[in-house]
Protein backbone atom coordinates (compact mmCIF):
# COMPACT_ATOMS: atom_id res chain seq x y z
CA UNK A 1 0.00 0.00 0.00
CA UNK A 2 1.25 3.50 -0.84
CA UNK A 3 2.36 5.71 2.01
CA UNK A 4 0.20 8.68 3.00
CA UNK A 5 0.92 12.13 1.60
CA UNK A 6 2.49 14.13 4.41
CA UNK A 7 2.45 17.93 4.36
CA UNK A 8 4.37 19.60 7.18
CA UNK A 9 4.83 23.22 8.21
CA UNK A 10 7.69 25.17 6.66
CA UNK A 11 11.05 24.28 8.19
CA UNK A 12 13.79 26.98 8.18
CA UNK A 13 16.31 24.14 7.96
CA UNK A 14 15.26 23.40 4.39
CA UNK A 15 17.45 26.11 2.76
CA UNK A 16 20.38 24.91 4.88
CA UNK A 17 19.82 21.31 3.79
CA UNK A 18 19.71 22.52 0.19
CA UNK A 19 23.04 24.34 0.52
CA UNK A 20 24.65 21.26 2.05
CA UNK A 21 23.37 19.04 -0.75
CA UNK A 22 24.34 21.58 -3.39
CA UNK A 23 27.93 21.38 -2.18
CA UNK A 24 27.84 17.58 -2.37
CA UNK A 25 26.43 17.61 -5.89
CA UNK A 26 28.93 20.15 -7.15
CA UNK A 27 31.65 18.12 -5.51
CA UNK A 28 30.98 15.17 -7.82
CA UNK A 29 29.61 16.70 -11.08
CA UNK A 30 30.51 20.38 -10.75
CA UNK A 31 32.46 20.46 -14.01
CA UNK A 32 29.28 19.49 -15.91
CA UNK A 33 26.97 22.01 -14.20
CA UNK A 34 25.89 25.39 -15.58
CA UNK A 35 23.50 26.28 -12.75
CA UNK A 36 21.87 24.72 -9.71
CA UNK A 37 18.69 25.87 -7.96
CA UNK A 38 16.51 24.99 -4.99
CA UNK A 39 12.98 24.54 -6.37
CA UNK A 40 9.59 23.35 -5.25
CA UNK A 41 7.74 24.14 -2.07
CA UNK A 42 10.71 23.73 0.27
CA UNK A 43 12.34 26.64 -1.59
CA UNK A 44 9.59 29.10 -0.61
CA UNK A 45 9.75 30.58 2.89
CA UNK A 46 6.56 29.98 4.84
CA UNK A 47 5.20 27.31 2.51
CA UNK A 48 4.44 23.92 4.03
CA UNK A 49 5.45 20.93 1.97
CA UNK A 50 6.33 17.29 1.77
CA UNK A 51 9.71 17.29 3.56
CA UNK A 52 11.73 16.45 0.45
CA UNK A 53 14.30 18.90 -0.95
CA UNK A 54 13.89 19.42 -4.70
CA UNK A 55 17.02 20.46 -6.57
CA UNK A 56 17.23 21.39 -10.25
CA UNK A 57 20.54 21.24 -12.07
CA UNK A 58 21.24 22.66 -15.52
CA UNK A 59 23.95 20.60 -17.17
CA UNK A 60 25.98 21.46 -20.24
CA UNK A 61 24.00 19.04 -22.40
CA UNK A 62 21.76 16.01 -21.94
CA UNK A 63 24.37 13.90 -23.72
CA UNK A 64 26.36 14.23 -20.48
CA UNK A 65 23.74 12.45 -18.35
CA UNK A 66 25.65 9.17 -18.48
CA UNK A 67 28.65 10.90 -16.96
CA UNK A 68 26.51 12.08 -14.03
CA UNK A 69 24.93 8.80 -12.97
CA UNK A 70 27.84 7.04 -11.27
CA UNK A 71 29.18 10.13 -9.45
CA UNK A 72 25.71 10.90 -8.11
CA UNK A 73 25.32 7.30 -6.98
CA UNK A 74 28.38 7.77 -4.77
CA UNK A 75 26.49 10.41 -2.75
CA UNK A 76 23.35 8.31 -2.42
CA UNK A 77 21.22 9.03 -5.49
CA UNK A 78 19.30 6.49 -7.56
CA UNK A 79 18.79 7.26 -11.26
CA UNK A 80 15.22 6.83 -12.56
CA UNK A 81 15.56 8.06 -16.14
CA UNK A 82 13.16 10.67 -17.50
CA UNK A 83 10.43 9.32 -15.20
CA UNK A 84 7.56 10.49 -17.39
CA UNK A 85 8.87 13.93 -18.33
CA UNK A 86 10.88 14.05 -21.59
CA UNK A 87 14.11 16.03 -21.23
CA UNK A 88 14.11 15.83 -17.41
CA UNK A 89 16.40 13.22 -15.83
CA UNK A 90 15.30 12.27 -12.34
CA UNK A 91 17.31 11.06 -9.35
CA UNK A 92 16.07 10.33 -5.85
CA UNK A 93 17.78 9.93 -2.50
CA UNK A 94 17.83 7.53 -0.83
CA UNK A 95 16.57 4.75 -3.12
CA UNK A 96 13.57 2.68 -2.13
CA UNK A 97 11.12 3.56 0.63
CA UNK A 98 9.35 6.87 0.03
CA UNK A 99 8.99 7.41 3.77
CA UNK A 100 12.78 7.77 3.98
CA UNK A 101 13.08 10.06 0.94
CA UNK A 102 15.04 13.27 1.54
CA UNK A 103 15.96 14.67 -1.89
CA UNK A 104 14.74 14.77 -5.48
CA UNK A 105 17.19 15.84 -8.17
CA UNK A 106 16.19 17.00 -11.65
CA UNK A 107 18.82 17.32 -14.40
CA UNK A 108 17.75 19.40 -17.40
CA UNK A 109 19.03 21.85 -19.99
CA UNK A 110 18.85 25.47 -18.88
CA UNK A 111 16.84 26.60 -21.91
CA UNK A 112 14.17 23.94 -21.27
CA UNK A 113 10.55 24.69 -20.40
CA UNK A 114 11.02 22.60 -17.25
CA UNK A 115 13.73 24.95 -16.01
CA UNK A 116 11.85 28.14 -16.76
CA UNK A 117 8.50 26.99 -15.40
CA UNK A 118 9.97 25.93 -12.07
CA UNK A 119 11.91 29.17 -11.65
CA UNK A 120 8.84 31.25 -12.55
CA UNK A 121 6.64 29.34 -10.10
CA UNK A 122 9.13 29.53 -7.24
CA UNK A 123 10.02 33.19 -7.71
CA UNK A 124 6.39 34.29 -7.98
CA UNK A 125 5.44 32.55 -4.73
CA UNK A 126 8.47 34.04 -2.98
CA UNK A 127 7.16 37.57 -3.52
CA UNK A 128 3.42 36.88 -3.24
CA UNK A 129 2.75 35.56 0.28
CA UNK A 130 -1.01 35.51 -0.29
CA UNK A 131 -0.55 33.02 -3.13
CA UNK A 132 1.85 31.02 -0.96
CA UNK A 133 -0.80 30.75 1.76
CA UNK A 134 -3.46 29.72 -0.75
CA UNK A 135 -1.18 27.01 -2.10
CA UNK A 136 -0.39 25.71 1.38
CA UNK A 137 -4.07 25.50 2.27
CA UNK A 138 -4.83 23.76 -1.02
CA UNK A 139 -2.10 21.18 -0.47
CA UNK A 140 -3.31 20.37 3.03
CA UNK A 141 -6.87 20.01 1.75
CA UNK A 142 -5.82 17.74 -1.11
CA UNK A 143 -3.51 15.63 1.08
CA UNK A 144 -6.45 15.02 3.39
CA UNK A 145 -8.74 14.22 0.48
CA UNK A 146 -6.49 11.89 -1.49
CA UNK A 147 -4.48 10.46 1.44
CA UNK A 148 -2.14 8.11 -0.48
CA UNK A 149 -3.21 8.67 -4.11
CA UNK A 150 -0.23 10.71 -5.26
CA UNK A 151 -1.29 10.94 -8.89
CA UNK A 152 -4.70 12.34 -7.95
CA UNK A 153 -3.04 14.75 -5.50
CA UNK A 154 -0.67 15.99 -8.21
CA UNK A 155 -3.40 16.32 -10.82
CA UNK A 156 -5.62 18.27 -8.44
CA UNK A 157 -2.88 20.89 -7.94
CA UNK A 158 -2.45 21.46 -11.66
CA UNK A 159 -4.96 24.28 -12.17
CA UNK A 160 -3.50 26.31 -9.30
CA UNK A 161 0.06 25.79 -10.53
CA UNK A 162 -0.89 26.74 -14.08
CA UNK A 163 -2.57 29.91 -12.85
CA UNK A 164 0.54 30.93 -10.91
CA UNK A 165 2.88 30.19 -13.81
CA UNK A 166 0.64 32.19 -16.15
CA UNK A 167 0.63 35.15 -13.75
CA UNK A 168 4.41 34.91 -13.41
CA UNK A 169 4.89 34.72 -17.17
CA UNK A 170 2.65 37.73 -17.79
CA UNK A 171 4.46 39.66 -15.07
CA UNK A 172 7.76 38.84 -16.74
CA UNK A 173 6.50 40.10 -20.11
CA UNK A 174 5.14 43.30 -18.51
CA UNK A 175 8.44 43.94 -16.76
CA UNK A 176 10.28 43.48 -20.06
CA UNK A 177 7.99 45.99 -21.73
CA UNK A 178 8.50 48.52 -18.94
CA UNK A 179 12.24 48.19 -19.35
CA UNK A 180 11.95 48.74 -23.09
CA UNK A 181 13.05 45.21 -23.96
CA UNK A 182 11.65 43.48 -27.02
CA UNK A 183 9.16 40.74 -26.12
CA UNK A 184 9.93 37.51 -27.98
CA UNK A 185 8.11 34.23 -28.47
CA UNK A 186 10.26 32.79 -25.69
CA UNK A 187 8.59 35.21 -23.25
CA UNK A 188 5.25 33.61 -24.12
CA UNK A 189 6.46 30.00 -23.93
CA UNK A 190 3.40 28.83 -22.01
CA UNK A 191 1.92 27.63 -25.31
CA UNK A 192 4.48 24.83 -25.20
CA UNK A 193 4.94 21.66 -23.20
CA UNK A 194 3.78 21.71 -19.59
CA UNK A 195 5.71 19.32 -17.35
CA UNK A 196 3.97 18.29 -14.15
CA UNK A 197 4.91 19.93 -10.90
CA UNK A 198 5.07 17.32 -8.11
CA UNK A 199 6.00 19.42 -5.11
Indicate the DSSP class of residue 31: G
pLDDT at 3: 80
pLDDT at 183: 37
The pTM score is 0.86
Cross-strand bridge partners of residue 84? none
Burial of 27 (0-12, 13-18, 19+ CB in 10 A): exposed
Q: Is the pLDDT of residue 65 over 90?
A: yes
Task: State the Cα–Cα distance between residues 109 and 85, nearest whole angstrom.
Answer: 13
pLDDT at 71: 98
pLDDT digits (tens, 9 = 90+) for 39-52: 999 999 999 999 99
- Classify each residue of 120-146 as buried b or exposed e, where b means 16 or more C-beta atoms within 10 Å of its C-beta: bbbebbeebeebbeebbeebeebbeeb
pLDDT digits (tens, 9 = 90+) for 128-173: 999 999 999 999 999 999 999 999 999 999 999 999 999 999 988 6
Domains of the chain: 14-191 (3.30.460.10)
Amino acid sequence: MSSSIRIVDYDPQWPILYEEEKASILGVIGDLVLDIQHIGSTAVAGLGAKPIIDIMVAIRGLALIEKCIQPLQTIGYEYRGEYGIPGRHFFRKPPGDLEARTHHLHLVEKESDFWERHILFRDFLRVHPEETQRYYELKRELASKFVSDRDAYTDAKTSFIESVVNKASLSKVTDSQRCGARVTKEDLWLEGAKPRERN
